[in-house]
Structure 1
Amino acid sequence: MVNVLAVSDETVEFLWSSRVRDLGVDLVLGAGDLPFSYLEYLSDQLNAPCVFVPGNHDVDLSGYSESASGWTRAGMPAQWPGPTGAVNADGRIVTVAGLRIAGLGGSIRYNSGSNQFSERQQRRRARSLVWGNAWQSQLPGRTRAVDVLLTHSPARGVGDAEDQPHRGFECFHSLVDSLDPAVMIHGHIHPHGRTPPDLEIGSTLVLNTVGYTLMDISPGIPPTIMRRRHGS
């Protein structure tokens, strides 16, 4: 069982203090649109790894690669603008703290900002995520391809909104069907003090984690939510 702190979009005063150490967290998941210094602080104070995907208000992190000689972008030395020590799961499946986590960041395109995609572009990215990691779903002893699907935006019709910037992605439905995660964790949709309902896509639990959610996750099993706070 892994104790997970999932955060997104809005900082929480309690978490940005030494009191956060009392939570006993094994893994931090960031669903986008948070100060990178906040993710770094949580990871440092909790002594826990951090896995994140970028939101539509985050800087463009595409094209960066790390080697023994440091970070590069387009073959040239570069300074990594993302959170130090964190794992960017955007377009990847990573295994951290015993959980397999698939990530797709960004929102639907609504202007010329970074980390925004048309439905067609995100569908292509989703297919690449599935095809590029298909072999991993065949590993012995696995009942699901991944444990967690971490996104910034929700799926269309499952916790999204009708205004263009907050419409979810249709392609996330087929992505969930392919990866069969126990839980899909997203941000982007601000509840403004309300508690949004927990939803489902098939057998996958869908959680809006704007603010924070503290949960226990065991591989292949839907999480047990321990504590949460939505909105400012």
Structure 2
Amino acid sequence: MRALVVSDVEDKALWDYYTPGRVKDVDLILSAGDLDADYLEFLVTMTNKPLFYVHGNHDTAYRQSPPGGCIDVDGGLYVYRGLRILGLGGSMRYKDAPFEYTEREMRRRIRRLTPRIRRAGGFDVLLTHSPAAGVGDLPDHVHRGFECLGELVERWKPALMVYGHVHLSYGAGMEREHEFGCGTRAVNAFGKHYLDVEPVGTLPHPWMEPMINARCLRDGEKSADHGFLPGTSGTAFGSYRQW
């Protein structure tokens, strides 16, 4: 599948100077955070493709006005066309603010998701705002990555990690792509970037997909009235407790 990944800076070519056909052959959009909600709404409207997002440390306005028509996967697991997307937004805590976490707090978030990951047989894409420690991060505290994110990748070996937070404009020599020891690609979504991604595994049972997605929407306090949400009606909502 072809993915458009975005984070941190609204791309003028996709917003101010957008023309029909500028984004083509894209199957989904992944937002790694710190973007205007209106920008995400514009992208999902103009492309008519699903947009999955996590929160950046500057996305506090999402608490009152989340981007409409987009799917919040922060702290959840969602399956789209067989692609299992795990979301863990936020940055290292450097002040008292939402969407900032200590290493211990991020580890706790991962532990809460582990039973769901195990039941889904793993995940294919890890969508975060912060990078993992030592893989695309910077030495200062604000832009330091989480060690537990790297451990999560090494344990489950997804095909791809998409992150933001570290701007490629910070200086010369900044690289967009890195690789974990297990072979997982780590891609910095700063601005915009296109890439291909395919599932590295499958759900143990196809009927799990609607339950996983219904639970993800429930966790994000989302309604099921936007598009691209297969199987989010009927018994799926009544069966999420096992997730």
**Which TM-score band (shorter chain)?**
0.7 to 0.9
Partners of 2:19 and 2:114 in 1: how far apart?
Answer: 39
The residue correspondences of 1:170-209 to structure 2 (distance < 5 A) are: 170-192=147-169, 194=172, 195-201=174-180, 202-209=182-189
Residue 69 of structure 1 corresponds to which residue in structure 2? none
Q: Does the Cα contact within 8 Å between 1:100 and 1:148 map onto a contact in 2?
A: yes
Residue 23 of structure 2 corresponds to which residue in structure 1? 23
Q: Which runs of 5+ in 2 are unaligned?
A: 202-243
Q: What TM-score, normalized by structure 1, do the two folds share?
A: 0.79
CA shift at 1:22, angstroms?
Answer: 3.0
Residue 125 of structure 2 corresponds to which residue in structure 1? 148
Residue 111 of structure 2 corresponds to which residue in structure 1? 127
The structure where helix makes up a greater share of residues is 2
SS at match of 1:21: coil
Aligned residues with identical type, % of pairs: 42
SS at match of 1:82: coil
* Deviation string, structure 1 residues 13-55 (Cα, Å, up to 9, x no partner): 1011432633222111000000011111111100101100000
CA shift at 1:60, angstroms?
Answer: 6.8
CA shift at 1:197, angstroms?
Answer: 4.8
User: Hey, which bits of structure 1, 4+ residues long, moved more than 3 A?
Assistant: none
The structure where strand makes up a greater share of residues is 1
Over 3 Å counting, the alpha-carbon distance change for 1:115 and 1:98 in structure 2 is same
Q: Which runs of 5+ in 1 are unaligned?
A: 63-79, 138-144, 222-232
Over 3 Å counting, the alpha-carbon distance change for 1:53 and 1:180 in structure 2 is same
Q: Does the Cα contact within 8 Å between 1:91 and 1:129 map onto a contact in 2?
A: yes
Cα-Cα RMSD: 1.8
* Deviation string, structure 1 residues 95-116 (Cα, Å, up to 9, x no partner): 1244210010000000112200
Query: How many residues are treated as equivalent by the alignment?
Result: 196
